[in-house]
Amino acid sequence: MRTNAVAAAILLMMVFLSVPVNGALGADWTKAVAADVTLFYPGVASWEFLTSDDHRLGGREIKQARKDCRHCHLGKGGELDLKADEIAAGSIKMKRSHNPFEPEPLPGKKGIMSAKAQAAYDDEFLYIKVEWESKGAGWSKGAKKSDRVSLQINKAEPTFKKYGCFITCHNDLNTMPESPSKKEVSANPYYGGQQRDDVRLYAYYARSAWDQRRPEGELSKKLKDGGRIDLVSIEFENGVATAFDGWIFDDRRWEDKAGDATGAYSKGKYSAEFKLKLKSKDQFDADLFEGDVVSIGMAVHDDGASKRKHYVSFPFTIGLGVAADIKAEKTK
């Protein structure tokens, strides 16, 4: 009897172990290898800073689109070589202009955090899972703040591959140091026409400044060449995860359809899962196929910090069945 019970228990366990580990959106994570993604607090380090003399050698290299961020700021063992703690503490200034990297430091904010990322795909979808340890400030009931994870996704634009989200971050964005006043923004026909007073993320090749779109011919060529950046995001607020699907080009816009993503906070950790359609016919979605290597820039809003006060990653790649920083294996 006793041995039988043990045998039955072992058998049950084997059955259990061989069942795919399905995520909330139907992903099978059994074969997925987890990779650590390092994120840092950038303060007001914008595309203008990065391409300027304030960034010294970095500025010269980026202007000519030669070396990428990781080349100069990541050590051989993957360790970050960047003064992120000093930026978060508000204690360092830019070398030439002497502008602070963070004019409004948040008390006790860490400079660096780490997230775990996994990817898998099947015939229809690419799944991306992101987890990070957190106090869950936005998740708690009645907190009146939120936490968030966002992914920028693009497979064609060479400068996105090298510099990631930074190609969309500018001094004149809402809450950045040179942001125009709300009055100025709403008086502009483009923003005013949408009843808006905020300047949002835009790719440097789609606008020369908040109020200057690049010529139409250039924009349509860039769109044809895959210069639009897909954007997916999950907001964690008051015990609810809400998914968004959007894009960045000459502006950052959310689409009307809800994003296919979900997540939760539990046991000191946020967990987020995104589901991206392969071969999507939607022009605002990333154009994903088996065999592709796509570049991803990740941003995490933690501790209930909003707007620009997030952590960001250098761009990393996901390969759909092919070698990349994270190789997604096919599951079905």
By CB under 6 A, name the binding residues for ligand HEC. 42, 45, 50, 55-58, 61-62, 67-69, 71-73, 82-83, 95, 163, 166
Least Å from the CB of residue 112 to ligand HEC? 12
291: left (phi over 0), alpha (psi -120 to 50) or beta: left
Nearer CB in complex with ligand HEC: 42/263: 42
Question: Are residues 127 and 274 in contact, defined by beta-carbon separation less than 8 angstroms?
Answer: yes
d(CA 117, CA 326): 8
Nearer CB in complex with ligand HEC: 62/286: 62
Least Å from the CB of residue 253 to ligand HEC? 24
Look up tokens 């043990």; give the residue.
Answer: 6
Nearer CB in complex with ligand HEC: 160/270: 160
The pair of structure tokens assigned to 322 is 């092919």
d(CA 66, CA 186): 38
Least Å from the CB of residue 58 to ligand HEC? 3
d(CA 259, CA 300): 17
Least Å from the CB of residue 123 to ligand HEC? 35
The pair of structure tokens assigned to 219 is 């924009």
d(CA 26, CA 23): 5
Question: Are residues 313 and 41 in contact, defined by beta-carbon separation less than 8 angstroms?
Answer: no
Nearer CB in complex with ligand HEC: 111/180: 111
Least Å from the CB of residue 198 to ligand HEC? 23
Least Å from the CB of residue 307 to ligand HEC? 18
Q: Which of 268, 222, 260, 266 is nearest to 242 (CA)?
A: 260
User: In sequence order, which residues have a C-beta less than 8 Å from that of residue 83 and are 6 or more positions away?
Assistant: 92, 111
Nearer CB in complex with ligand HEC: 110/253: 110
Least Å from the CB of residue 166 to ligand HEC? 4
Question: Are residues 129 and 273 in contact, defined by beta-carbon separation less than 8 angstroms?
Answer: yes
Question: Are residues 126 and 52 in contact, defined by beta-carbon separation less than 8 angstroms?
Answer: no
Nearer CB in complex with ligand HEC: 248/261: 248
Nearer CB in complex with ligand HEC: 272/298: 298
